[in-house]
Amino acid sequence: MKIDKIKINGFGKIKNKEIELKDGINIIYGENETGKSSLMKCIQALFYGLSKNKNGKNRSDFDQYKPWEDSDFSGKIEYTLDNGEEYEVFREFKKKNPIIYQNNEDISSKFKMDKTKGIHFLEEQTGIDENLFCNTAIISQQEVKLEKADTNAIVQKISNLVSTGDDTISFKKSMDMLNKWQNEKIGTDRTKEKPINIANENIKRLTNERDNLKNSKENLISYATQKEHITLELQELQEKKETLKQEKQVSNNNEIKNVEINLKIKISILLEILFFAIMVVLFALKKFGIAIIPAIFGLVTIFTTLKMRQQKAKNSNLDTSKIEKEIEKIDAKINDLKLKNTLIDAEKAKIDESLEKLIKIEEELEEQKHIKEELICLETSYLIAKKALSKAYEKIKSNLSPRFEQKLCEITSNITDGKYENVTVNDENGLLVEVENGAYMPVDRLSVGTIDEMYLALRLSILSEISKEKMPILFDETFAYFDNQRLKNIICHLQDENYDNQIVIFTCSNREEQVLNQLKIEYNLISLEK
């Protein structure tokens, strides 16, 4: 893929600027503050748009590159793919989507549309999204400049490139992070106070409480049955008591009648005695001799009747006492049953309160079970992620690592005049280099410049592996800290027959021109003025 022409109507401090690029090496020369970085950012923005999100910065890219004057904030880029197809992309940076032309025809609708980021035309054509484009096709000074204190960081990036294909992603750190998240967000059988352990403990506790309350529910049924039996028994006792009270009332009435009869008898006896006494006196006076016989018979009859009535009254008194004792027994039993009924009501009230709690416990138990299910699903996701990560890691290592190592060996040999020819990557120790005695030592013992160049070469190799096109490579003051020999070596490498990428070097120095002139390599020079 080649960038043919860039037209900037307004972007940052650049206004009404046209730049034509050619195949091979292009040098865009300009002193500081001439807009080199803005031009590079404009190329990226024409392809992928300009974000209005700050992403942790003080200002968004949109605000940073909005023209200083109130002018046209737009531009156009023309490029040609490896198959010779030519495209033009016009973009107003205030709008989300560009207009894409082919043979002067608007073909924007042929590309996929993303509601957030807009049309992904370049990603469809090259397989490179904006993040990959920035990490591979654009190489700035900060990417290769390295102080001695930062050697470990750059070596780690090289190891990342070799093992994962991305210098920002470490397989080991990624796996450690997944394990950490899995432990923190889920937990294991060995952990305590982790979500899965808390959920299991809650489920166990709530299950026990629920089972106990279910036993109470069974007790409630038993209490209801007992209460029903007590109610029936109380009803029977009340009826029996009422019957005894009626019998007692009848007995009391009979007793009153007996008292009346006894009184009448006593009066009759007194009259009989009086009559008998009169008869005796008259008999003594010999006036009613024969009349004494009836008098005696009557007196005997009175005594016999009185005796019978007294016995009947005595029997009546015995029946009433028996009824009263029976009623007392019934009252005692009724009181016992009422007390038992009261106790049952109290226990039933407690159970009713517990049953209300049972509903809440069952709801909470279901919630905890749902939480556990989600945690199990999440754990499955982590396991799948780790398996996929391991599989991808092994695939990258088997497919890409040999090529990376071959490239490392080639570049390292060139820049060290054959001093270091074999470089390998070890999962445990990272990047290793073979020294003169055949032993392998960590690469961080090499010079800073050598490590820088290895990192640069790996980024170039990555780009060729992941893109459908031979992407243009933009260098932003990349070689400022390279010595002349290393600069010469890398330019020779970029002109190797295996490389056919368009090269665009942004620089404020003439060192690159001098090397190109010395090597008699043709290049396209573009000068920016303040």
DSSP letter for each residue of 198-230: HHHHHHHHHHHHHHHHHHHHHHHHHHHHHHHHH
Query: Rounded CA gap, 367 and 309, in Å?
Result: 86
Q: How confident is the model at residue 107 (pLDDT cuts 50, 70, 90)?
A: very high
Query: Rounded CA gap, 490 and 288, in Å?
Result: 180
Q: Are 446 and 400 in contact (CB under 8 A)?
A: no
Check residue 316 and report its DSSP letter: H
User: CB-based contacts of 194: which residues, under 8 Å, 6+ apart?
Assistant: 183, 184, 186, 187, 188
Question: Could you give the C-alpha distances from 478 to 138, 140, 302, 368, in angstroms and in order?
Answer: 10, 5, 153, 57
**For residue 342, which of 254, 420, 227 has the smallest C-alpha distance?**
227
Residue with more model confidence, 429 or 114: 114
Per residue in 512-528, pLDDT (tens digit) is 999 999 999 999 999 98
Residue with more model confidence, 373 or 219: 373
Q: How confident is the model at residue 262 (pLDDT cuts 50, 70, 90)?
A: low
Residue with more model confidence, 71 or 368: 368
Query: Rounded CA gap, 383 and 186, in Å?
Result: 12
Residue 476 has pLDDT above 60, yes or no: yes
Residue 146 has pLDDT above 50, yes or no: no
> Which range is least confidently modeled, 15-24, 213-222, 256-265, 396-405?
256-265
Tokens 């007390």 belong to which residue?
339
Q: How confident is the model at residue 324 (pLDDT cuts 50, 70, 90)?
A: confident
Q: Are 452 and 482 in contact (CB under 8 A)?
A: yes
Query: Rounded CA gap, 345 and 361, in Å?
Result: 24
Angle (CA) 315 316 322, round 5°: 90
Q: So what's the pLDDT on residue 419?
A: 79
Tell me which H or E stretch contains 197: helix 195-284
Question: Could you give the C-alpha distances from 340 to 111, 333, 335, 337, 355, in angstroms and in order?
Answer: 85, 10, 9, 5, 22
Query: Rounded CA gap, 417 and 414, in Å?
Result: 5
Q: How confident is the model at residue 511 (pLDDT cuts 50, 70, 90)?
A: very high
> Which CATH architecture does the domain made up of 195-394 adopt?
Orthogonal Bundle (1.10)
Residue 475, classed as helix, strand or coil, is strand
In the chain, pLDDT over 70 holds for what percent of residues?
A: 72
Query: Average pLDDT, stretch 434-449?
Result: 80
Q: Is the dihedral of CA 204, 210, 213, 219 positive or negative?
A: negative
Burial 110-121 (b: 16+ CB within 10 A, else e): ebeeeeeebbeb
Q: Strand 14-20's sheet: what is its strand order?
A: 14-20, 2-11, 74-80, 86-92, 99-102, 105-106
Question: Could you give the C-alpha distances from 63 to 11, 60, 66, 67, 494, in angstroms and in order?
Answer: 11, 5, 5, 9, 36
Q: So what's the pLDDT on residue 481?
A: 76
Per residue in 213-257, pLDDT (tens digit) is 776 666 666 767 777 887 888 788 888 878 877 777 766 666 566
- The torsion angles phi and psi of 15, rounded to 5 degrees, stand at -145, 135
Whole-model pTM? 0.57
Q: How confident is the model at residue 149 (pLDDT cuts 50, 70, 90)?
A: very low
Q: How confident is the model at residue 259 (pLDDT cuts 50, 70, 90)?
A: low
Q: Are 244 and 328 in contact (CB under 8 A)?
A: no
Q: Are strands 74-80 and 86-92 parallel, antiparallel or unpaired?
A: antiparallel
Residue 354 has pLDDT above 50, yes or no: yes
- As given in the structure block, the two tokens for residue 506 are 């942004």
User: What is the torsion angle, in degrees rounded to the nearest 10, for the CA atoms of residue 480, residue 482, residue 486 and residue 488?
Assistant: 20
Q: How confident is the model at residue 209 (pLDDT cuts 50, 70, 90)?
A: confident
Angle (CA) 426 430 431, round 5°: 90
DSSP labels, 72-98: --EEEEEEE-TTS-EEEEEEETTSS--
Q: Indicate the domain borders of the chain.
A: 195-394
Query: Rounded CA gap, 328 and 246, in Å?
Result: 15
Check residue 149 and report its DSSP letter: G
Per residue in 267-315, pLDDT (tens digit) is 766 666 676 677 666 666 655 455 555 555 555 565 566 555 555 555 5
Q: How confident is the model at residue 151 (pLDDT cuts 50, 70, 90)?
A: very low
Angle between helices 511-519 and 484-494 (to 10 degrees): 60
- As given in the structure block, the two tokens for residue 470 are 């031979």
Angle (CA) 278 280 281, round 5°: 65
Query: What is the chain's mean pLDDT, rounded?
Result: 79
User: CB-based contacts of 79: which residues, under 8 Å, 6+ apart?
Assistant: 1, 2, 3, 4, 86, 87, 89
Burial 501-526 (b: 16+ CB within 10 A, else e): bbbbbbbeeeebeebbeeeeeebbeb
> Which range is least confidently modeled, 42-56, 72-86, 271-285, 389-403?
271-285
